[in-house]
Structure 1
Amino acid sequence: MTGMGSTTGDLKRRDIVLRLGAITLLGIGLSLGAHLSRSGAGPGQSKSGKLFPKLARDLSKVSRIQILGPSNQFELVKVSGKWVMPRADSYDIAEAPLRRLLKAVSDLRYIRALPPPTQQDAAASDIDPRTGGDGVWLSLETETRDKLATLILARRGDRTLVLVSDDSTFYEVTSADWPSLTSARAWLDLPQFDIPPERIATISLTRPRQGPIDIVRRPDGGFAPVGGRANASITDIALVLTRLAFQDARRESRLIGPASFRHETSLKSGLIIALEGYEADGQFWVKVAVDARKAATDQEGQRLAEATRGWAYQVPPKLGTLLSTPTALLLQAGP
């Protein structure tokens, strides 16, 4: 009987082996299914879904954002509940681009997974900016530096591609409302004057070892230097506050030495706004001084003073050069 059939022990051992095999296959199936649920059930197949499905509930944990592009690198850090940029001496971040970025990443949906990079026109080495690629690397982290989402974005024609750090698969994703990822300036909450030309009364420009220039409004509404004729340079100097867009920020204590120029604008309301210019690190920077003692109302002066107190701002090179031009050349400039 023993040689012609299985014993009870043999049957039990076979049953255990079959059960273990089923459990192993189930585990492999679950693992594969979890991957395919994000990768669109295989390269090239269409199936949409969120790239970071858990991020929406963890947005409050995001405390550090790193952005690295082909020509720019900066990070945003949450300190005591306030977002700042360390590279700009911890200057405040504007809320609008931050909201747009967090929403764009948390809502990011893939259309399909693409074939391996070796078969695509966008290999990993072509988009990773850390190795000379043209993409943008993003990392969202917690206060303890745990990564909540890390990805590389790149454009290929009319497609947006994403390479997720923990996955070698490329994903084609839907369009999103991204803030600027290549300009640190776009993230700073820099002050704006928004002063229309008709509010300006007089302007003065003083520099060391140069004669001062006093500019007044002409009857026709234009501007001219006292005792001289109007020209394009004088008009540009008169309208500085109407066109000024700051480029960067730093603590004003980092600017040392005497100012290279002082540009002072008196508004018809009596408010005086002065820009004290300095050259540092090959750039022009200004400190802002607000005098509201003769102003009809001090609300505007208080707002500007609070926004600029303790800070210096980078101005465009063209403006710095204009305000540093010798007086004789400015007064002799053609019409």
Structure 2
Amino acid sequence: MTDRSADTALLDAARTLDAADPLAAHLDAFVEAPGVTAYLDGNSLGRPLRDVPEKLAAFVREDWGTRLIRSWDEQWMALPMELGDRIGAITLGAGPGQTVVSDSTSVLLYKLMRGALRQAQGPRGATQGPRGTAQGSAGRTELVIEEGNFPTDRFLAEGVAAEMGATLRWITPDPVHGVTVDDVAAVVSERTALVSLSHVDYRSGALADMPAITAVVHDAGALMLWDLCHSAGVVPMQLDDWGVDMAVGCTYKYLNGGPGSPAFAYLRHDLQGLLRQPIQGWWSAADIFAMGPEYVPADGIRQLLSGTPPVTSMLAMQGMIDLIEQSGIDGVRAKSE
């Protein structure tokens, strides 16, 4: 077979695969980029959907322009929780009331890291942690993270450890295959307060064994925090069934929320109220409009909020969440494989 005939055969095979692709019908949902025939940087910024410009214009013209502050009562007040529930149900395997959209990835990681260390080290005595393990012991002073994690995660871990007087324990994983169960088992102990890892290695694409690693961390009596920035929207997961404690992910990659769109945080039901986040803004208060003299945190997942949510930045991702729901996250993963 000549090179030309081989190329023709490959092209014919590719066209056959395209014709049989169950997701091909969704291609027209995205804005065309002149001169771009293949976009391989969705892990940095997802492409916008065609209907985003009109949705943004309608928002300015109607929800904001006409309804003004009435839109807070009509729809915006509940948006961080409602959108969080949709992300949880469609992409995370999470039941309602455990996911909220707010802030940036860095801010939400800080809230959960610091809250988890405070819970583990706090003076209030032992409380029941994952799988009935005792937490709140002053002996739990270590935060475990891997050396190759995304810079934000590592920088935050260093800062939080310094603030809380904790010790960092570093995992050195294989640079291609990523963090393994054995890597984690080798460093966790009765001193471990929190383990923070990324589900997908941003350098190699290695996929961590989330349920098995979470189980190892729980067996050591510690809490587990997962960074889902490179897996939310493309990798099926079951946070509830796998016993995950906490997770954070962004929305501008595979959820196509646009540059700087807000992140989301997942906090398991039974940890809400136990783990107290450190940025006590008015939106996480039990009565937002009481304007009272002291801070009383809200019940439920709203306690992870701080300031006024970025409503405008929550618009673009909603169409992509609809699209993932139509396609099925399993279908998206099958296509990627």
TM-score past 0.5 threshold: no
The structure with higher relative contact order (CA 8 Å, sep 6+) is: 2
Greater share of residues in helix: 2
Which structure would you say has the larger Rg? 1
Greater share of residues in strand: 1
